[in-house]
Each structure stands twice: as C-alpha cells, then as structure tokens.
Structure 1
Amino acid sequence: MFHLLWMFIVGIVVGAIARWIMPGAESMGLVMTGIVGIAGSFIGGFIARLFSKPADGAIVHPAGLVLSVIGALILLFVVKKFGL
C-alpha cells in the first residue's frame, strides 16, 4: 500500500518539475500531474534500459529521477502536440 502512495508522491514531484520546465499553460490538477509523472517515470525507465542495464539487485536505475523528468517532458510534449 505504501508503495503505491510513494509512487504517486514521486510522480507528483516529477510531473511538477516537468510542468515547470515545459513552457505553456496546462490546466492540470494534482492528480493529473501525478499521472503524468508516473507515466514519465515509465518512459524514462524504458529509455534508461535501452542504453544501460542497472546493476544486479538494484531497485532503481542510477539516473532515475533525471530520466523520469525527461520522460514526463516527452509525454507533455506529445499531449500538447496532439491534444490528447
């Protein structure tokens, strides 16, 4: 249960950083910002695994937060471009 709560809190932080970096006025609430952050984390994790595998037994990738924000920025760009 705490895992889901922690994932949502980190998603809100990642989504808020991405919305702060990406110019424009998106009318997203706190829940949508969290969803963008969580989805961005999945996208960033996919990008990270394309270039390098995490060490055996590692829970997260070393560049996790940075790539999560990059993934959220990619998602915000796609949403803004295609109006999804």
Structure 2
Amino acid sequence: MAASVGRPLQVDLATQNKTRPSCARVKVETGEIMGKWVTIKYDYVPKYCKTSKLQGHNEKDCYVIHPELFPQEEKKDEKEEKELA
C-alpha cells in the first residue's frame, strides 16, 4: 500500500514486530509531487473523540461533553436499605 504513495524506506518497530496490528507506520519517499490521488479503504477505523482525545468513543458518547451519560453508582444509604429489605 505504501508503494502506491512513493518508495517505502522504513517501518517503525511496532509495525516490524507486529505488536500494533491496528495500523502500520511507513516512512515513504515521495520524490516529485504527482497529480495522482490514491484511494485508501480502511476495514476498521476505531471511534475517536476529538474532545477528550481518547479512542473507544466519539463525541456523541463522550462523558466530558455529556456527563449525564456517565454511569452513576447508587448512593451507599440507598444500597444498604435495599439489602436490609
């Protein structure tokens, strides 16, 4: 895939050791700028929140933006009452 952009020169250690299967980093020499567009199709793109800068959720499900979505624990007194009943 990197060859479609330019001449592949080097990969990072995680790509070389296959310890990060979700993505690959390749240093590419492009040389002359060509007027050619390369379409890249991803099988899976993880959710990413630009606000909290964390993977695993997007802005719609972010606890920072929407604190009401954060799972609330029952108050200790209410929990004890339920156990006694």
Shorter-normalised TM range: under 0.3
The structure where helix makes up a greater share of residues is 1
Q: Which protein has the larger Cα radius of gyration, Structure 1 or Structure 2? A: 2
TM-score normalised over the length of structure 1: 0.24
